[in-house]
Chains A and B, each alone.
Chain A
Amino acid sequence: MIEALTLTLRLAVVVSAILLALGLPLAYWLAFSRWRWKFFVEATVSLPIVLPPTVLGFYVLVAIGPLSPFGRWYQALTGHSLAFTFEGLVVGSVLYSLPFAVQPMAASFSSIDRKLLDASALLGASRWRTFWRIVLPLGLPGVLTGFVLSFAHTLGEFGVVLMIGGNIPGATQTVSILIYDQVQSLDYATANRTALLLLFLCFTLLTILYGLRRSSAWHLWEWK
């Protein structure tokens, strides 16, 4: 069980870190772009919320498999397939948790008064400086929410992991897969302990998140 737990935590850390790096520019673009076809991107980003994990997992599996150009390219590069590996899980999870990271970030960015961005530009700041000095500090609550949600969402993921990673202990067997495995073998007592652990973990995370949100400490910039 420890093996599955460390694997799950490792996956969640890697995925939420990637989503932070990926989500910030994407959320910035979604919040401020005036491109007329932006809604198309918005719909695509939100798709994983409504799509069954099996559908997403299936297509990711096909895309990283040996039959797709990307799969062949990756195999030629590394010598092995992405499917049924930890890296494959990361790819699937990033896609699956994308809306949970991007949506809160984009929402908090677009609630920032545009006049502040104008004022920043009028004072000679580049877009880059405006992002780091104005957009990011003022949008921080949304950025942290997106980070925590994508972390927690990856912890509890099941369908996509099963489709892409299968059930290989030490490589792709996360806690949620382990529970499934234990129930399949009718080991209810162990399944109960594992399930309780995951429940406790997710509950703690969300309690911290919402607790922080309530307090004024949430506005990190007020600490300085």
Chain B
Amino acid sequence: MSASTTSALNVQLRVRLRKSFPGGNSSSFALDVSFVVSAGVTILFGASGAGKTTLLDCIAGLQTPDDGEIAIGETVLFDSQSRRNLPPSRRPAGYLLQSLALFPHMTVQQNVQYGLAALDKSERAARSLQTMESFRIASMARRRPGEISGGERQRVALARALVTRPRVLLLDEPLTALDAVTKARIVDDLRAWNAMCRIPILYVTHDREDVSALGENVIVLEAGRVVAQGTPHEVLNRPQSETVAQLAGFENIFECSAIGSHPEQGTMTCRIGGSGLDIEVPLARVNVSLPLRVGIRAGDILVATDAPQGLSARNVLAGTITSLRQRDITVIARVDCGAEFEVHLTPGARRSLQLEPGARVWLVVKTYSCHVLQSSG
């Protein structure tokens, strides 16, 4: 293994920055983040307006942070203290803009080798050909961006960004417009490429499907701040913020107020707002004077047609089915227990329990299926 490969394995992208956008009370916004990512795909997840694109722009040098430091390995790209601010053209970052920004007047090959101006002609041709082959676009080298499909354009943009061998790759929702199959194929090629080069890839998305499908790591951004970071598994199983909750797929999110805590039992009692319904949730370190939210996955709720007894589950709620509908192989039941719950069942369970709208049922929810979320406000 050569020295360059060894160092490439250890390259990390370190970001610590603040940037505020003054505006009216409603429009002012501040990005304030600090994180380190290693080689591999890191998903940057957040709703639109969370600051994802601004963050990428700052790393690439298209926007300047108010202060902080950005570095790739030993190379400092931006440092407010030493007033270092490399222009985009001198940063070793590949950046796939959301609009792709392919040069319309150049062929695919000319686009791909645009960043190789420093190399001599034969080397330039060889390197661009090799990259075009990795991304399966060599056959359309002489066509222009206007003459190829959307998926092919994505491939050209990827090849153009990667042919310069950047030390970090930034992707701004690059695949949102594509159908699932096309997307999966491109992602496979990107993975294969990164298995060789091993650089940090920051992949911005607001699509939660992408998170577990693509990411080795997830950073969740909410209103300009990092609210969670870790593997998809860690982040999704310990959701604390609302963005993560939405990400983790809580169909039921209730506004609650804490009305009592039982440290000896490891639980606390929460009253669901707008109802008299109390539920037991795990004791959590939260500020009880602030409103809480409790998230419950629809698939974590049991349904019983008789009042159950002798259960370890603390929450047994009586209610009435208000609606039932089926989507694919999931039956979605809405149950009114004073507050409305969404419950997911299999079609088999629906048949054997003979569930119909209007039927009286009991919902059983384990304490540990109730996730306490502190609202971000």
Interfacial chain B residues near A138, Cβ < 8 Å: 104-105
Looking at the complex, which one of A116, A123, A126 makes contact with B115 (CB distance below 8 Å)? A123
Cα A122 to Cα B118 in complex, Å, equals 14
Question: For the complex, is A55 an interface residue (Cβ under 8 Å from B)?
Answer: no
Per the bound structure, the CA–CA distance linking A129 and B117 in Å amounts to 10
Q: Does B88 contact A (CB under 8 A)?
A: yes
A18 to chain B, nearest CB (A): 27
What are 9 sample pairs from A and B whose C-beta atoms fall under 8 A apart? Answer: A116-B101, A116-B103, A118-B88, A120-B114, A122-B60, A122-B94, A124-B164, A138-B104, A221-B105
The answer for the CA separation of A126 and B114 in the assembled complex, in Å, is: 12
* CB-defined contacts of B95 to chain A, threshold 8 Å: 122
Name the CB-closest residue of B to A119.
B101
Interface string of B83-111 (1 = CB under 8 A from A): 00001111101110101011111000000
* Inter-chain contacts of A129 with B (CB < 8 A): 117
How distant is the Cα of A124 from the Cα of B95 in the complex, in angstroms?
A: 11
Can you add 8 more A-B contacts, CB < 8 Å, to A123-B161, A124-B164, A125-B117? Answer: A113-B101, A115-B101, A121-B87, A121-B89, A123-B114, A123-B164, A124-B90, A133-B103
- B160 in complex: contacting residue of A115, A123, A126, A219, CB < 8 Å: A123
Q: Does B359 contact A (CB under 8 A)?
A: no
Residue in chain B with minimal CB distance to A114: B101
Establish whether residues B89 and A124, one from each chain, have CB atoms under 8 Å apart when the complex forms.
Answer: yes
Known A-B contacts A118-B62, A119-B97; the reply to A124 vs B103 at CB < 8 A is no
- Cα A217 to Cα B103 with chains together (Å): 19
List the A side residues contacting B93 at CB < 8 Å: 122
Name the contact of A125 in the complex, choosing from B99, B101, B114, B161 (C-beta under 8 A).
B114
A47 interface hit (Cβ, 8 Å): no
A120–B87 CA distance with the chains assembled, in angstroms: 12
Whether the Cβ atoms of A133 and B97 lie closer than 8 Å is: no
A138–B114 CA distance with the chains assembled, in angstroms: 16
- Whether A169 sits at the interface, judged by CB under 8 Å, is no
Which residues from chain A sit less than 8 Å from chain B, CB to CB? 113, 115-116, 118-126, 129, 133-134, 137-138, 219, 221-222
**Known contacts A115-B97, A115-B99, A129-B117, A122 near B88 by CB under 8 Å:** yes
Contacting pair B101 A118 (CB below 8 A): yes
User: How far apart are the CA atoms of A113 and B98 in the complex, in Å?
Assistant: 13
**What's the Cα separation between A221 and B117 when bound, in Å?**
20
Give the complex CA separation of A119 and B93 in angstroms. 12
Q: Which residues of B contact A221 (CB under 8 A)?
A: 105
Q: How far is the CA of A219 from the CA of B102 in the complex (A)?
A: 17
Residues from 115 to 147 in B contacting A, C-beta threshold 8 Å: 115, 117-118
| Neighbouring A residues of B114 by C-beta, 8 Å | 120, 123, 125, 133
A133: B residues at CB distance < 8 A: 103, 114
Q: How far is the CA of A13 from the CA of B115 in the complex (A)?
A: 38
Q: Tell me the nearest residue of chain A to B60, going by C-beta.
A: A122
**Chain A residue at minimum C-beta to C-beta distance from B98:** A115
Bound-state CA distance A123–B117 (Å) is 9
Q: Roughly how many angstroms separate A118 CA and B99 CA in the complex, as a whole number?
A: 11
- A137 contact from B89, B102, B105, Cβ within 8 A: B105
Partner of A134, one of B60, B99, B103: B103
The answer to whether A124 and B97 touch across the interface, beta carbons within 8 angstroms, is no
A122 vs B103: C-alpha distance when bound (angstroms): 13
**A119 to B160 alpha-carbon distance, docked (Å):** 10
Q: How far is the CA of A133 from the CA of B111 in the complex (A)?
A: 11
- Which of B93, B104, B105, B117 gathers the greatest number of chain A CB atoms within 10 Å? B105
Chain A contacts of B94 at CB under 8 A? 122
Given contacts A118-B62, A118-B97, A120-B114, contact A125 B89 (CB under 8 A): yes
Closest Cβ of chain B: how far from A176's Cβ, in Å? 39
Query: Which B155-174 residues sit within 8 Å CB-CB of chain A?
Result: 160-161, 164
Closest to B62 in A: A118
How long is the Cα–Cα vector from A221 to B110 in the complex, in angstroms? 13
B177 shortest CB reach to chain A, Å: 16
Which of A113, A118, A129 is the most central at the interface, judged by chain B CB atoms within 10 Å of its CB?
A: A118
Q: Which residue of chain A is the closest to B88 with respect to CB atoms?
A: A121
Query: A222 — nearest CB in chain B belongs to which residue?
Result: B105
| Complexed CA–CA distance, A113 and B87 (Å) | 20
Which has the most chain B C-beta neighbours within 10 Å: A118, A124, A125, A138? Answer: A124
Bound CA–CA A199/B88 (angstroms): 52
A134 to chain B, nearest CB (A): 6
In the bound complex, residues from chain B placing their C-beta under 8 Å from that of A137 are 105
Chain A residues within 8 Å of B115, by CB: 123-125
Give the distance to chain B from A30, nearest Cβ to Cβ, in Å.
22
A199 to B215, CA, bound (A): 70
Contacts of A116 in B (CB 8 A): 101, 103
A115: which B residues are within 8 A, CB to CB? 97, 99, 101
Which residue of B has the minimal Cβ distance to A219?
Answer: B105
Which residues of chain A are near B102, meaning CB under 8 Å?
119
Bound complex: CA of A116 vs CA of B160, how far in Å?
Answer: 13
Q: 7 closest A-B pairs (Cβ-Cβ)?
A: A123-B115, A119-B101, A221-B105, A115-B101, A121-B88, A121-B89, A122-B95
- Distance between A144 CB and nearest chain B CB, rounded to angstroms: 15
